[in-house]
Amino acid sequence: RAGAWAADFRKNRCTKMGADGKYAYESCASACQACSAVVTGECVDSTSWFKKNDPSKDCDWVAQHVPTRCAVKGEDERWGFQACSRACDAC
């Protein structure tokens, strides 16, 4: 599906797997706001993001099991792919 499909309902659709075996955030990085470089100019991982209800699981944890952990919601309501764009190779 096209990036516009993901962008319409970014909250739910960017973590859906497509028929090609890729998550929507991988195929539609711009629509899903998956790349920190768009905002900051650099592809970096957040130093403050962690998995919802589990501060021990940060971007280093995400990097150990890409792309599945990139689709995990963080305490700050950002997805792993949004906060850990370097670990998720989203840039």
DSSP label at 70? G
First to last CA, the chain: 20
Contact predicate 53/76, CB 8 Å: no
Q: What is the pTM of this model?
A: 0.73
Q: What are the pLDDT tens digits along the chain (91 aa)?
A: 444 444 444 456 788 888 888 888 777 777 777 766 555 667 889 999 999 999 999 999 999 999 999 999 999 999 998 899 899 987 7
Contact predicate 84/49, CB 8 Å: yes
